[in-house]
Structures are given as structure tokens and as C-alpha cells.
């Protein structure tokens, strides 16, 4: 038995660093000290007690160190999340503030409209209502089309880890849809409830699409009030072809259907940019020269969208 063992020993190479580490993680100093003690050379009496006291002190220092490190880590970690939480809270607070202010603006707008109706005569009020409905300043009710566009699948590239975003709906897609609807005779359009006016913007900001600076997300529902064949002409027109192409190529969802009797809210924001005092003081039917808004389609007054207020 001894000769094979001896042979094995001769073949053993000096263990490399890691093997040595794994095999013998204990400080050899302990074994040395034990050997010294066994030989009777170890410290005795007072020296022994002093050393024990120092060990205790070391352990105190160790506990101290552990607590400091723990507190440091705990203090470091939430620093980032704290800032994030604060930002999120700010965003939410601002958002609710905006909602409150918007509600107040709506209420005051209603009040103004009521006062105006009380002051002005019937014909002027009717004209105002028509203009407001056309420009998006007043809520309108009617029938038309419901266009639904949704993002396609956005798989994560297994190599780069980036999310593919080419199947996302872009701002230009929504712009195209809105413009096609206007062209097909729509009189009022809302994207996810955001009423479009002549000066509305549909823009991309990073991954979000903003309609008049309000974020909208997929699926995008575009409600449009217009002639009965609106959905059909949208589907058959260039926009329909474009979106069908997107569906077949990227897997987006697209649907255009007629919708009956729905209400579109007024636009949230329409800034008065130009105001001119009419040269003819009495508002007796003459068109006001300085109307700030430019209606894209000069829709006739016998449209189904009038008088929704």
C-alpha cells in the first residue's frame, strides 16, 4: 500500500494558489500558536488576561465596524430611491394639481358661456356655439368613426438586450390618421379623449406621444365625428392602406369602424393668439374679420355635430 501512495505523493504538484486557499483557509498562525502553547511557551497569567481584554476590545471594534458599514449601506441605498420617490411624488402631485385646475377652468368656462348666453341674443349665441363646436372649444355629440391603432409586439433583442421599438405607433402615424380623418370630412376628432383643434400638436417625446402636451398611450382610439361614410372612406383611403401595411409588416393592430352617438369633450387648451375688434360694432351676421382659429375644413352648418353643449 505504501508504494502507490508514495508514487501519488511524488506526482503531486504544489497546489496552486486557489486550491491552497480552498484546502487550508485557516491562518497557519493558529496552529503555530497552539504548538507553542503545547510546548509551554505561550503567555501566562497577567499577559494572558491582557490579551483576552484586547480580543474583547477587537470584537467591540468589529461590532462597531459592522454597524457602521450597515448604516452606511442603508443610508447609501435609499439615497437614489429617495430622490426617485420624491420625483414620482412631485409628478403625481403636479398631475393632480393640473386635474384640479382643469376642473376649475372647465367650471369657469361653463360659467362664462352661461353668462354670455344670458347677455347675447339667440342668433349670436347659436353662431358662437357653431364656431366653438367647429374649433374644438365646446364639447360635441354626434356619430362618425372610431379608429383604433395599437402597438405591435416589441420583442427584446436577445443579443443587444434592447427593446425593438419599430412596431410602436409613432406620432407621425397618429398625425397621418388625424389628417386623413380631416380630409375625409371629419368635423371633430379626439385622440384618446384629447380633442384636436386646428392648432393641436401630436408629438413624440421619447417613448411617449403627446397630444397637446398630454401623454397618450397605446392603444390609441381616435374618435371622429363626421359623415356616415367616414370610417369607410378612411379604411379605403391612403391612411387605411398605410395602416394595413403596418399591420401586415409589424403586427400592429388597426381597426376602423363606424360609431354612433358619442360625445367628444372640449379641447383642454386653445390659446387666443389673435384678437381684433370688429370694425362693424353690431354683431349682426357679418363674419368677424379676426377669427384666430383656422378651421381646416369649412364645414357647413348643417353638420350633425352642432349644438352639443
Residues that bind other proteins (CB under 8 A): 18, 21-27, 29-34, 37, 42-43, 48, 51-52, 54-69, 71-73
Q: Where is 260: in which H helix or E strand?
A: strand 253-264
Question: Angle 219-266-287 (CA atoms, 0-180°, nearest 5)?
Answer: 130
Nearer to other proteins, 60 or 123 (CB): 60
Q: How far is the CB of 32 from other proteins (least distance, A)?
A: 8
Nearer to other proteins, 35 or 156 (CB): 35
Which is it for the CA torsion 21, 22, 28, 29, positive or negative?
Answer: positive
Nearer to other proteins, 34 or 100 (CB): 34
Nearer to other proteins, 60 or 108 (CB): 60
Residue 254 bridge partners (DSSP): 149
- Taking residue 200's Cβ as centre, other Cβ atoms within 10 Å add up to 21
Q: Tell me, what DSSP letter sits at residue 218? A: S
Distance separating alpha carbons of residues 28 and 263, to the nearest angstrom: 85
Nearer to other proteins, 74 or 274 (CB): 74
Distance, C-alpha 199 to centroid of its chain: 23
Asked if 264 contacts 140 with a C-beta cutoff of 8 angstroms, the reply is yes
Q: How far is the CB of 51 from other proteins (least distance, A)?
A: 4
DSSP string, 151-189: ----PBPTTT-PBP-TTSPPHHHHHHHHHHHHHTT-SEE
Nearer to other proteins, 35 or 83 (CB): 35
Amino acid at each position: 500500500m505504501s508504494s502507490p501512495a508514495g508514487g501519488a505523493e511524488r506526482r503531486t504538484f504544489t497546489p496552486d494558489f486557489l486550491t491552497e486557499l480552498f484546502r487550508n483557509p485557516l491562518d497557519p498562525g493558529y496552529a503555530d500558536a497552539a504548538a507553542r502553547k503545547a510546548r509551554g511557551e505561550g503567555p501566562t497569567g497577567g499577559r494572558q488576561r491582557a490579551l483576552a481584554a484586547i480580543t474583547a476590545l477587537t470584537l467591540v471594534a468589529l461590532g462597531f465596524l459592522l454597524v457602521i458599514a450597515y448604516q452606511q449601506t442603508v443610508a447609501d441605498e435609499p439615497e437614489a430611491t429617495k430622490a426617485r420617490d420624491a420625483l414620482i411624488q412631485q409628478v403625481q402631485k403636479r398631475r393632480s394639481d393640473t386635474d384640479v385646475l382643469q376642473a376649475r377652468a372647465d367650471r369657469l368656462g361653463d360659467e362664462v358661456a352661461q353668462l354670455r348666453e344670458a347677455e347675447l341674443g339667440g342668433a349670436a349665441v347659436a353662431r358662437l356655439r357653431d364656431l366653438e363646436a367647429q374649433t374644438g372649444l365646446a364639447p360635441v355629440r354626434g356619430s362618425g368613426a372610431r379608429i383604433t391603432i395599437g402597438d405591435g409586439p416589441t420583442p427584446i433583442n436577445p443579443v443587444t438586450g434592447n427593446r425593438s421599438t419599430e412596431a410602436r405607433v409613432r406620432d407621425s402615424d397618429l398625425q397621418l390618421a388625424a389628417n386623413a380623418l380631416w380630409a375625409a370630412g371629419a368635423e371633430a376628432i379626439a385622440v384618446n379623449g384629447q380633442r384636436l383643434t386646428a392648432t393641436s400638436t401630436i408629438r413624440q417625446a421619447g417613448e411617449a406621444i403627446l397630444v397637446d402636451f398630454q401623454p397618450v398611450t397605446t392603444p390609441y382610439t381616435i374618435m371622429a365625428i363626421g359623415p356616415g361614410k367616414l370610417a369607410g372612406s378612411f379604411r379605403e383611403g391612403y391612411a387605411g392602406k398605410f395602416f394595413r401595411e403596418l399591420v401586415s409588416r409589424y403586427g400592429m393592430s388597426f381597426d376602423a369602424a363606424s360609431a354612433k352617438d358619442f360625445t367628444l369633450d372640449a379641447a383642454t387648451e386653445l390659446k387666443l393668439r389673435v384678437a381684433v375688434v370688429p370694425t362693424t360694432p353690431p354683431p349682426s351676421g357679418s363674419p368677424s374679420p379676426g377669427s384666430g382659429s383656422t378651421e381646416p375644413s369649412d364645414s357647413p352648418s348643417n353638420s350633425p355635430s352642432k349644438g352639443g353643449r
